[in-house]
Amino acid sequence: MSESKDFLRTIVEEDLKAGKYKEVITRFPPEPNGFPHIGHAKSICINFGIAKDYNGHCNLRMDDTNPTKEDTKYVEALKDAVQWLGFNWGENVYFTSDYFSKIYDYAVKLIKMNKAYVDSLTEEEIREYRGTVTQAGKRSIYAQRTVEENLDLLERMKNGEFKDGEHVLRAKIDMSAANMKMRDPLLYRIRHAHHFRTGDDWCIYPMYDFAHCLSDYIEGVSHSICTLEFENNRDIYDWLLDTLELKLPRPYQHEFARLGINYTVMSKRKLLDLVNGEYVSGWDDPRMPTIAGYKRRGYTKESILNFCDQIGIAKANSMVDVAQLEFCIRDDLNQKVPRVLCVMDPLKVTIENYEGSEEIDAPYYPHDVPKDGSRKLPFSKDIYIERDDFMENPPKGYFRLTPEQPVRLRHGYIIACKEVIKNLDGKIIEIKAEYYPESKSGSDTSGIKVNSAIQWVSAKEAKTVELRVYDRLFKNEAPEGLEDLNPDSLKIIKNALVEPAVITDKIDERFQFERQGYFYADPIDYTNEKPVFNKIVGLKDSWAK
């Protein structure tokens, strides 16, 4: 449990103390119309987290009342996300569509109580009649229909006698309520559409406000936790349960602040536009703020859970800096992953005074990480270093290899540049170098001082890999639309070289490529013939430059 209690847990504890519920039952109720994003992760952590903390249960419920947008593939993605984050919904996934008959019966009951009516105004008229914040609405003349007429019309709506939009069912509440949502909210609408679970059984579908409170009640939910934008819907929630005389233990709604992160969009509709427009490779593109995207990029579930814990639960919306999420993943990986060598832009170096070959025993972890393990790092006279790590005419403060300045090969020897070979265009294509036999890392008696150690790979044993280096998907902190996409959010490096230890075990492997960042073997595109690594996140610090 989190150390400091948040306001939701305070409410739950008070309710338990007062004996209001025997068991805490929460629910995570996504609409299966897209892949879940990091905002959903927050909701998952809250709902499943609270249930866990109070020995209760959290239902996973698909809020599938909108047939034209929903699909089984999204149901699967939602299940994957919850599971991956380490939560358990028990035996069954619930679906609002399983309650369609019961919900319909409640509609009939409301009509019989003269608390609901079939309205036949057009959509536009309904909007007009609703009034404004400063002006009371006026009730539709159809509200005068008798109970019998309403029962007959609702049944005929259900039987498919009318076209979409011809009629709706509305609650009869108060057309001058200060809370606009209470001005006779819609309960049912006609929608002749195939539903991915109920097929063509229904052509009327309950609205969120009607379906949600009833689904919560049917499932025995105690605490119905949702985001702030539903604050005004709470009155409808209570009105419906009260009017239908659905008594304690009945659920109550509580709202918390939605998570927003900068440099990305979060709503599923906007994310779907990115997928459909092929601006990304799919819902699981590693640049997407979806759980599938983070997972594919190499984020650990611990980093996401820590992030959700750190940002806490608030009652006011705010924007969280994406740097905070990046901090969480970096912090987690720093303690976990082996450090290895990778050269992104190889420059050939021939060490002319070195004969034969050797294997250097190189630890995987720095001293401040309490993990053991090492690998054999092959070394020979033909190596590659990073093109950036050599400069012929360096500026002041450049500590890497230059014609005058030696450098250490990480875990290996100190080398000095003897000759720079260029092609006809003047591009440097090779460095002829010399090494100091007494300078081996760990047993250096050479007395030579260097300011920097650089990554390198042995030419013969190095493996070619593809690196996918990601940047923020949007160039603006608060992107408005596609025009704000960052054109450089993906850079593909085709011919990077890694030391052989990186290749041995590809499944679910994360590495720190020293001085470059954290990388993850792409779970989909990686093959032994063509290894592909995703950059998870950069390093905060790199070792001395």
Which of 453, 464, 455 has the alpha carbon at shortest distance from 339? 455
DSSP symbol at 438: G
Strand partners, 227: 256
387 is catalytic: no
- Does position 9 interact with ligand ATP (CB under 6 A)? The reply is no
Cα atoms in the Cβ-side hemisphere of radius 13 Å centred on 348: 13
Find the Cα–Cα–Cα–Cα dihedral 158, 162, 166, 170, rounded to 10°. -20
User: Is position 221 an interface residue for ligand ATP (rule: CB under 6 A)?
Assistant: no
Residue 230 or 390: which CB sits closer to ligand ATP? 230
Q: Which of 9, 52, 145, 268 is the catalytic position?
A: 268
Of 366, 307, 295, which Cα lies nearest the Cα of 337? Answer: 366
79 binds, among Mg ion, ligand ATP, none (CB under 5 to 8 A by kind): none
Separation of alpha carbons 177 and 245, rounded Å: 22
Find the catalytic residue in 20, 130, 191, 258: 258
Interface with ligand ATP, residue 531, by CB under 6 A: no
Span from 5-13, 36-44, 178-186, 516-524 in contact with ligand ATP (CB under 6 A): 36-44
Amino acid at 74: Y
Does the active-site annotation cover 419? no
State how far the Cα of 438 lies from the Cα of 355, in Å rounded to an integer: 15
Among Mg ion, ligand ATP, none, the one that 266 touches (CB under a kind-dependent 5 to 8 A) is ligand ATP
Q: Which residue number, 13 or 31, has a Cβ lying nearer to Mg ion?
A: 31
Of the candidate residues 227, 243, 334, 476, the single one contacting ligand ATP (CB under 6 A): 227
State how far the Cα of 22 lies from the Cα of 55, in Å rounded to an integer.
11
Please state, in angstroms and as integers, the Cα–Cα distance from residue 142 to each residue in 114, 117, 137, 150, following that order.
13, 8, 15, 10
Judged by CB under 5 A, which stretch of 24-32, 348-356, 363-371, 490-498 contacts Mg ion? 24-32
Stretch of 29-37, 187-195, 351-359, 415-423 contacting Mg ion, by CB under 5 A = 29-37
Q: Which residue number, 40 or 468, has a Cβ lying nearer to ligand ATP? A: 40
Q: Which of 266, 272, 420, 539 binds ligand ATP (CB under 6 A)?
A: 266
Which one of the spans 27-35, 85-93, 98-106, 383-391 is the region binding Mg ion (CB under 5 A)?
27-35
Show the tokens assigned to 296. Answer: 């594919």
The Cα 537–Cα 520 span in angstroms is 10
Closest CA to 357 of 431, 496, 439, 459: 459
Q: Is there binding between residue 258 and ligand ATP (CB under 6 A)? A: yes
| Residue 510 among the catalytic residues | no
Q: Residue 42 binds which one of Mg ion, ligand ATP, none, with CB within 5 to 8 A depending on kind?
A: ligand ATP
SS3 227: strand
DSSP string, 258-317: PEEETTS---HHHHHHHHHTTSSSSTT-TTSSBHHHHHHHT--HHHHHHHHHHH---SS-
How many binding residues for ligand ATP (CB under 6 A)? 15
Closest distance to ligand ATP from the beta carbon of 516 (Å)? 32
Residue of minimal Cβ distance to ligand ATP: 39
What residues line the site for Mg ion (CB under 5 A)?
A: 31
What residues line the site for ligand ATP (CB under 6 A)?
A: 29-31, 39-40, 42-43, 63, 226-227, 258-259, 266-268
Q: Mind telling me the catalytic residues?
A: 31, 258, 268
